[in-house]
Structure 1
């Protein structure tokens, strides 16, 4: 059993009244450790530092630790985060270490926010287990462990608690565990953490739920939504992502019918959504990012119950890059060319505008499909370095100098609004985001989900 050497207050099974616990939090008497200083973890550590004045971030990457301790932000694209890191490090509220157990030994609250990877459709909890082991080796009675990482339901009870008990030689009840999911989007992390949405908390026991509620009520300006237990809270986060994946799959499947229907499916969707019980998302060339494409597997793989809807939605969304390439081929044929002889540029390989993230990127998938066919393909992205990908990179301002046969819009970055389309000659355009109808002049355009308002047998307009 490990005992904290310094005298610190705790929230779990504390003799302090709630108001005294809150004061102790704000005064820095309840030290916090945040494990994982990535795109979501570093903003979280900064907010905890602002609130408590006593937060340590732990990350196994020495360069991240060195950057943070120098007051420099290693995460790009998060408004306000560089200033928050500089301020909290300078005033001593935030520091970083590369040894998670050292951070755990000094902390009374432990917040885990490391990624849960999916390999071949199977969730990989190795990183989470390793962090839990490190925390367990430094865990003390009265500590509270909060998991913010998105995980398969039952992970806190079936994985985290047993690991902590084994490593600490403590029993649940001497420490607490709660699941408190991050509800954060890249590019607005600080805003989201500080209270853009209600904060969900669910403990493995009632005291864990209470203690976590006190903690996050100080961190968040929004309401605290306490649920029955940690498994319920885990389900909440996974269900949010699964809902979006299934909904987008519906929109994408409807979009594939635009040609045969001879109508603008996007207009139909938008109009259907004026009915309060309808909320169909927008179609596109695929679903990317580190969340939505992976969360369905947190339910598909670990459990015996069949989930045919979730599997089908994944198949539909995974098929959209190929659908986009097929429509490109048809658009070229409609204009007397073949895709095999064409040169193509893909606009946007980030999975969404303004975010430097390429996991499961539709733009990359489209470029790779074209490359596999031996097609001359290049890509343009104003925020992503393309050196690591098998695609030629072209600077945005140099694009008009190149002679392409086709352009595919995969991600509608703001920077693309000023493209001089008049500089392109005889170019065919496939618009995956319904963003070019007011920009492209004089070029044949195929828009995913938009039917031709003139012809019943064609979905092309110019």
Structure 2
């Protein structure tokens, strides 16, 4: 088949490579000309994904994948564009305290991509929405937009096929994970499933489009609620002067209990966003989901509170943040709580420097970032931070204060180096004895 994929981001580009490798002729489209130009020059915009560079080189070399900024006629169209949220308040503290009232799904990219393919779709074509969306979007927005553009949608096969992958392991999970395909008609579901079976090895389940849309939201909302529970217990443990990391590790030894890890907040384009789509669809029926969102949204404020407790009567003026990515060992800062914490500190007049080895704009020499810092905030559990030599760090900073929001440092080593340490979820300030 000839497949046109709208959106060359974290999902669209790897999917394009896999479909091309499976024998299809794929055209990848993105309105970001910088991405298209870099791909034409052999430079990938997605890094630290095992096997992706080699696969991309293969499918570009044999001509099975081409990229451009305009769609063309195809047998199947896949829309894999971002679905961020739009908020009604630019004040970060207001957004944190009233998240359910501030956020709505921004379907602008979906609508634009749908309008772009409208002149090229023909009777019998398959149109698949991969973007994570509120329930009903495939039928109401995609089909509705095509109709507005004069397309006879009764002659199309339209389906929703949400991705279920984790950055850092994209290719493996796109191939091995089970998929849920939701067709607006049974024929559309079968046609979409047939296309994905050309490279997916996991089980493919076929349902209706609205169910498939909700399933994706349920999966990420489940994780958000679980993280909120872990974060709430971290706060309880601080109050009770219990080590949350130890307590949760012991609780997880129960065969039917599995806490996720607490942290400075929830980031990424899925878990931090998708619950709002459910709330938007049923605002009076989602008390638990809204509560979980409030807990997780307020964790950046709590990290700032831990810093102020640590500084005591001598307020810090310069802070170094370790980690901009929302997740360990990947270069993805979308909705990252690290950047929110930086913004909160800057709003207090504190000078903030952010380091991250996986994101180019933050990948400055670590030594320069640490020199003269009065406090360190470890906000992303990159392996490079867990293995830092605290004695080397102590020689660079002007004041040995550390807030560890990920529970990854060796306390004995850092305290022995002279640091005062606060750990999220631990109710005692740890100092060198």
Q: TM-score, normalised by structure 2?
A: 0.89
1:265 pairs with one of 219, 244, 250: 244
Q: CA deviation at 1:193?
A: 1.3
Contact conserved, 1:71 with 1:90, CA < 8 A, in 2?
A: no
Corresponding residue for 1:170?
152
Does 1:111 find its partner at 2:78? yes
Change (3 A) 1:257 1:177: same
Superposed CA offset, 1:95-136 (max 9, x none) = 122112xx2x2x111111000120110111111112112222
SS class of match (2:224)? helix
Does 1:51 find its partner at 2:22? yes
Does 1:445 find its partner at 2:426? no
Corresponding residue for 1:21?
none
Does 1:362 find its partner at 2:337? yes
Change (3 A) 1:450 1:141: same
Corresponding residue for 2:354?
379
Q: CA deviation at 1:168?
A: 4.8
Contact conserved, 2:129 with 2:162, CA < 8 A, in 1?
A: yes
Contact conserved, 2:237 with 2:426, CA < 8 A, in 1?
A: yes
Does 1:291 find its partner at 2:273? no
Contact conserved, 1:342 with 1:375, CA < 8 A, in 2?
A: yes
Contact conserved, 1:109 with 1:143, CA < 8 A, in 2?
A: yes
Distance 1:352 1:171 in 2: 40
Q: CA deviation at 1:59?
A: 1.4
2:388 pairs with one of 419, 441, 461: 419
Number of residue pairs the alignment of both structures matches: 410
Does 1:36 find its partner at 2:7? yes
Contact conserved, 1:69 with 1:89, CA < 8 A, in 2?
A: no
1:133 pairs with one of 115, 139, 164: 115
Does 1:206 find its partner at 2:181? no
Q: Which range moves more in the overlay, 245-254 or 435-444? A: 435-444
1:432 pairs with one of 388, 393, 405: 405
Contact conserved, 2:267 with 2:337, CA < 8 A, in 1?
A: yes
Corresponding residue for 1:14?
none
Distance 1:461 1:152 in 2: 48
SS class of match (1:152)? coil
Distance 2:364 2:62 in 1: 43
Change (3 A) 1:139 1:319: same
Q: CA deviation at 1:270?
A: 1.9
Q: CA deviation at 1:203?
A: 0.5
Corresponding residue for 1:281?
260
Contact conserved, 1:262 with 1:459, CA < 8 A, in 2?
A: no
Distance 1:129 1:160 in 2: 7
Distance 1:71 1:395 in 2: 26
What is the CA RMSD across the aligned residues, in angstroms?
Answer: 2.0
Q: Which runs of 5+ in 2 are unaligned?
A: 88-102
Residues 74-223 of structure 1 correspond to what in structure 2 (within 5 A)?
Answer: 74-100=45-71, 103=72, 105=73, 107-120=74-87, 121-172=103-154, 174-195=155-176, 197-223=177-203
Contact conserved, 2:355 with 2:364, CA < 8 A, in 1?
A: yes
Distance 1:288 1:244 in 2: 12
Q: CA deviation at 1:65?
A: 2.7
Superposed CA offset, 1:50-105 (max 9, x none) = 012311111122333333345442333322222222211111101122112xx2x2
Q: TM-score, normalised by structure 1?
A: 0.84
Structure with higher Rg: it is: 1
Contact conserved, 2:381 with 2:406, CA < 8 A, in 1?
A: yes
Superposed CA offset, 1:144-197 (max 9, x none) = 11111101111112111222234353232x2111111111222221112122x1
Contact conserved, 2:235 with 2:425, CA < 8 A, in 1?
A: yes
SS class of match (1:56)? strand
